[in-house]
A and B are shown apart, each in its own frame.
Chain A
Amino acid sequence: MTIQSKSRTAGRCFALLLFAFALLGKLAFAEDRALTIHGFLTQAYAASDGNTIFGIPDEGTTDYRNAALQFRYSATERDSIVLQLSHERLGDSKLNDFQSDVELDWAFIQHSFNDDTWIKVGRVQIPIGIYNEVRDVGTILPFYRPSPNVYGDRSYTSETVDGAVGFRRFFRDSSWPVEVSGYYGGWNFVKDNQITMESARIQDAFGAQIWINTPIEGLRFGIHRSRLSSKDGALTTTSDKTEKSNVWYLSADANFEKAFFRTEFRDQGFSYGYWRGFYAQAGYNLTEKIAVAAQYDLAKIRYDQRPYFFANEEWDRDVALSFRYFFAPNLVTRFETHWDRGKYPSDPIAYLGIDKPLHTFYFILSVSASF
């Protein structure tokens, strides 16, 4: 048995174990719920019409899933310890080489000072935009993954920070409550030069997310700002210097009973250029069980570190449609189609010959469950 097939077997075992837990139903141990267990699983079949994109090959793959198991121990009413293990497969993507079968997704200690203030210390989800903290939770996402152009696809971005996150709610009783989160720490990520991929680390990052709620329930606006520092060229094509990067996110989120509309913009500046991503998505619940959604996703890059790398172009443009059927709020099947024009193919060898954007059609059929 090869290492890769062992890896897949272990991953499938984890997913099956998780599914068994889900079938068992409620796992909240004991009525006092000192220890609770929750989890989610999304299993997909995906295929493209030719180019391999986000690990999806033209012959199709079922090696496409994510799953997590979460343990929460409430030591006191104000203090909790939370740990989440995850498993993810991305088809033929080289990103698979950078993650083990079962990973520590996050683990933190949370202390609440009062109803409106808390702090988490450890490996904690970074509060960025609408989706960063729930990137993989298939039962609540309109598409398999949030916009890759805004949230990244495991490369250059991170769901978690090794450090601390604080939260404070202001003006709770007004019609305009404001929620502010701040974080500090570092994280590992995959540096993808399109030709090679390697592990790198953000050493020193801090940022804040502000959400302004409105008198229209379900409508809110967000802004995120962070500053990242890295050594050894983690954010550059070469490995010769310390680099700083400034990141902005702007978000508008309208989430109502029958419909939603969301749009976000990301601007990440480097000393050699910038990355700008944007998406808009809208969805409508035709019935309580059937929902449809559409998404327009765009990225532009300007990066000038000649002779190593130069780009000044539209990097990606993707139009997607999804159809979801909810057997229950926590059990959903989803079919989505994407028409992509860009430079995302995840086979670096193929990329070497690309000077024009590739046109790729792909679809993902998935089932998601959570408990």
Chain B
Amino acid sequence: MHTRLILTVLLLLTVNGFAESPTVSIRPPVKVIVAAGNDTTQLSRKQVSDIFLKKTLRWKNAMSIVPFDLKYDDPARELFSKFIHGRSPSFIKKYWQQQIFSGYNLPPLEKDRKEIAQAVAAEPGAVGYVPAEMDLPANVKEIEVRE
């Protein structure tokens, strides 16, 4: 009985583990933006998370990714962090302390909400985010975030 139960749980975990992720478009509480010339039109939430945690360093065309974060105290950063990473900004900050002092990597550069669109526009491989209500200049575009 116990063996069956364990096997069933393991099977369920495995099926869940290797299932294809659904690709349902979702409405994030922020706009994820790239330079207007960037070919990318959509990313999954996991891909955005990996980019901002610097687990993914290159776009599909091999161009380097340069993520920009909003300042720590910007309310939109909390919305982004909880929606994309499923974690609070303070939790992510501790993740970066671990990354820095174990010598792995550095966190994304921080910009305030007035600078970030400009910074993304100036760097072909850049990606950032702005509050959902913010209007975008012509030289950046919003990308779709899918589940």
Interface residues of A (CB under 8 A from B): 28, 31, 33, 36, 38, 40, 68, 70, 72, 77, 82, 84, 106, 108, 110, 112, 114-115, 120, 124-125, 133-134, 137, 139-140, 169, 172, 174-176, 214-215, 217, 257, 288, 326, 329-330, 370
Complex: A169 Cα to B102 Cα, angstroms: 17
A217 and B102 form a contact (CB under 8 A):
no
Q: What are 29 A-B contacts defined by CB distance under 8 Å? A: A28-B106, A31-B109, A38-B100, A38-B101, A40-B97, A68-B101, A70-B100, A70-B101, A112-B57, A114-B57, A115-B56, A115-B57, A134-B98, A134-B101, A137-B97, A140-B94, A140-B98, A140-B101, A172-B55, A176-B18, A214-B13, A214-B17, A257-B86, A257-B87, A326-B90, A329-B89, A329-B93, A329-B97, A370-B97
Q: How many inter-chain contacts with C-beta < 8 Å in the A-B complex?
A: 81
> Which one of A133, A257, A329 contacts B103 once the chains associate, using CB atoms below 8 Å?
A133
Distance in angstroms from A368 CB to nearest chain B CB is 10
Beyond contacts A288-B88, A329-B93: 6 other A-B pairs, Cβ-Cβ < 8 A, are A70-B100, A84-B103, A108-B103, A120-B103, A137-B101, A288-B90
Known A125-B103, A288-B88: A174·B17 in contact at CB below 8 Å: yes
A-contacting residues, B95-131, CB 8 Å: 97-98, 100-103, 106, 109
Task: Confirm or deny: B42 has a beta carbon within 8 angstroms of a beta carbon on chain A.
Answer: no
B64 and A329 form a contact (CB under 8 A):
no
A257 and B91 form a contact (CB under 8 A):
yes
Distance in angstroms from B147 CB to nearest chain A CB is 14
Distance in angstroms from B106 CB to nearest chain A CB is 6
B87 CB contacts on chain A under 8 angstroms:
257
Interface size on B, residues (CB 8 A): 26
Complex: A346 Cα to B57 Cα, angstroms: 47
Complex: A31 Cα to B109 Cα, angstroms: 8
B58 CB contacts on chain A under 8 angstroms:
114-115
A370 and B57 form a contact (CB under 8 A):
no
B55 and A370 form a contact (CB under 8 A):
no
A215 and B57 form a contact (CB under 8 A):
no
Interface residues of B (CB under 8 A from A): 13, 16-19, 55-58, 64, 86-91, 93-94, 97-98, 100-103, 106, 109
B93 and A134 form a contact (CB under 8 A):
no
B102 and A329 form a contact (CB under 8 A):
no
Complex: A217 Cα to B82 Cα, angstroms: 13
In the complex, what residue of chain A is closest to B91 when comparing beta carbons?
A: A257
Distance in angstroms from A10 CB to nearest chain B CB is 23
Distance in angstroms from A217 CB to nearest chain B CB is 6
B103 CB contacts on chain A under 8 angstroms:
70, 82, 84, 106, 108, 110, 120, 124-125, 133
In the complex, what residue of chain B is closest to A124 when comparing beta carbons?
A: B103
Complex: A101 Cα to B99 Cα, angstroms: 25
Known A31-B109, A36-B106, A329-B94: A115·B55 in contact at CB below 8 Å: yes
A133 and B102 form a contact (CB under 8 A):
yes
> Which one of B16, B55, B57, B106 contacts A175 once the chains associate, using CB atoms below 8 Å?
B16
B13 and A137 form a contact (CB under 8 A):
no
Distance in angstroms from B102 CB to nearest chain A CB is 4
Complex: A106 Cα to B101 Cα, angstroms: 11
> Which one of B13, B90, B101, B106 contacts A215 once the chains associate, using CB atoms below 8 Å?
B13
Complex: A330 Cα to B94 Cα, angstroms: 8
In the complex, what residue of chain B is closest to A160 when comparing beta carbons?
A: B103
A106 CB contacts on chain B under 8 angstroms:
103
A125 and B100 form a contact (CB under 8 A):
no
Complex: A229 Cα to B30 Cα, angstroms: 54
B86 CB contacts on chain A under 8 angstroms:
217, 257
A326 CB contacts on chain B under 8 angstroms:
90
Known A33-B106, A329-B90: A77·B101 in contact at CB below 8 Å: no
Distance in angstroms from A211 CB to nearest chain B CB is 13
Distance in angstroms from B67 CB to nearest chain A CB is 13
Complex: A114 Cα to B56 Cα, angstroms: 9
In the complex, what residue of chain B is closest to A106 when comparing beta carbons?
A: B103
A72 CB contacts on chain B under 8 angstroms:
106
B18 and A174 form a contact (CB under 8 A):
yes
> Which one of A137, A169, A217 contacts B98 once the chains associate, using CB atoms below 8 Å?
A137
Complex: A178 Cα to B129 Cα, angstroms: 29
Complex: A36 Cα to B105 Cα, angstroms: 11
A174 CB contacts on chain B under 8 angstroms:
17-18
